[in-house]
Structure 1
């Protein structure tokens, strides 16, 4: 069973339903699609306690106007497009409690280009080939394979009251600042040997401007030409996300979420996975420069990004609504016990697991020993 939670008053420039993408069908010519900025979507879902792949609204450039039909919890991540509830500015990258009939609007694009409206439980719409993501050119996924329009009703998953408790980002984490000049780290290849030495040096020493011919399929850039040794064509091969394709005119094209699954132009390099979110937040007219890194550096950057989600999973917020469930863990000669804030015991040597009501993860340090618990907490009458 689903519940109507949002009504679209006006859709903005381009608003679509996206999850993390559609995988396993590229051999059939079906692209992965999904969120352009997957990092922002993952954080938004994680903040709400959702599985990372839950669908959300991806908005581009100019945000929508919408009304909430139910009390619900949301998180807005990605670009700062000046979100407001009932005319008052609201923060991003954290949970917001929304009341029925609240009006969400967006104004100026302050930083970035794509923002994500994540809701508790995630958006519900039909799965097409294992994903709810909208593929506009294929006209499937999301709502009827199209962008959102006036009077569309957005549904929430029926399990939104049964998922893990909401979380918050660690205090040392700082929200992304995208800016107007985007430095993208790349690994050379797979066809960098198809280009002259001058082309390789030009790539990293030059600035490129994003043209108006840029969308969810790819970003066309304008700048110094990159010279092929011979012809620009290759036998068509797979097109990974972030591949930098160089056609005959020598101008780079960065392949994005709705890219074709194969391509016949040589690819001089590929943007590392952690920086694809950065290019997803770039808009026409802004500047791109490239920086070459090796696989070890790219792997370290990916691990650092994934650590954010590990920290987020372990960072359970204490709020007025959950203080009554606060656990006190006691280490008494290696015998661990748990009690409520008032000292009432929650564990004993003979206590057996019961059906789970809520799942909490907590870390306790005692005498330099750290314990990590996944706790099934049952409400006792």
Structure 2
């Protein structure tokens, strides 16, 4: 039975201690219930990040927002909020930093004389189509810059709001400049509402796959994260559903709870699933050498033990059964225009 004290529509149930702060302030419970999302404009000097992780395939990423309203308790990006002086808990979901100058920064990046184009991941940390995007439309403006410069971009999101920008995505796809990865960790809607409370419904995500595919926009699905004891019985069901909807490939990750993600997730599961919380936590530990997190490159992707091996084998079966004859296209960099004459855009 779900704990009645849980804050509905939210992953984090409390703020957690910022590892960089000596002092913390913990508001009363009623303050959490009434807390509104705030948006703060920040002014970064760059928007494109070089990805240096050895076990990640992308060269660059960019994130128009810092923090995320989607409310996933397991989000690996939570600790990054601490560098801004906030908590990885409720602050991460309620104090959103907005980079309105991102499109201009991206254009300057493309105009660098020696820049050699590589596909950029949008996002890579926090979701570029989170609810704030409806208001600020930064992602939409970024995509327009990518179209203007004929630059390839891979979109990663949990939100069907991506369909709003079909008018930009379609001409990009015609030049092999865009792909969309939708994150779908579950198609059990009751579980989805608890795991990722402010994302699009499973039904709407599957519909988004269909619409994107119908418009020749290649779709990948991230079945992530797999949490043993919660959604670990779903991979084959999910893979069939996304394949039928038109997805061309998929990826998956095993849950890992590093740093301040751990207390957020533990509090969440104790509230959302009190009857099986300890079982789930022990299953995660069985994949992570007795811990809940893992930072070692490559090991963090694989996990260890019988549970991890069972999950890997299930996805192997699903790949053979539902994706054997499907191939995901590689985006093109050949049409990149570089520091083009801005006036030529009027003739595009």
Relative contact order (alpha carbons < 8 A, sep ≥ 6): 1 or 2 greater? 2
Q: Which structure would you say has the larger Rg?
A: 1
- TM-score normalised by L of structure 2: 0.29
Higher helix share: 2
